[in-house]
Amino acid sequence: MKSKKIKKLNNLLGKLPLNIAQHAFVACLFLFFLALILGGLLFYKYSILSQKKYLEGLDWGFSLEEDAYQQVIKTWQVQDRKFQEADSKEYPDPFKKQGLTE
């Protein structure tokens, strides 16, 4: 009894490559969709789920360091002052000939 089952299984597995070769387009479609599904599952597991777990662990409280904020404000004020000075300053024309009359 077991011998017949083994022979049938062996016969079926022996014809499997031939059947796949005869239906190559369907086999390629099957393998493509299988790879697409497995790739999607892996992407979901390692990208989307890991981001959700990371975001769950974060503390969303807002904290402002006053010293750093004041330092940034001072830097902006200095840059703004320099910008305003540069706007009103007159620069000599390097292409104008000085001392020569036309």
Token code pair at residue 21: 């070769």
In a domain, 38, yes or no: yes
Structural domain boundaries, residue 82: 2-88
Is there a domain that residue 52 lies in?
Answer: yes
Q: Is 101 part of a structural domain of the chain?
A: no
Residue 97 resides in a domain: no
- Cα(100)–Cα(33) distance, rounded to whole angstroms? 83
Where does the chain show beta strands of DSSP type E?
none
Distance CA 7, CA 65 (A): 78
pLDDT in tens, 46-76: 888 887 777 676 666 677 788 999 999 999 9
Q: How confident is the model at residue 2 (pLDDT cuts 50, 70, 90)?
A: confident
Length of the chain: 102
Whether 78 maps to a domain, the answer reads yes
**Number of domains composing the chain:** 1
Between 78 and 63, the more confident residue is 78
Asked if residue 95 is part of any domain, the answer here is no
- Band of the pLDDT at 99, cuts 50, 70, 90? low
Confidence (pLDDT) at 58:
67
The whole-model pTM stands at 0.42
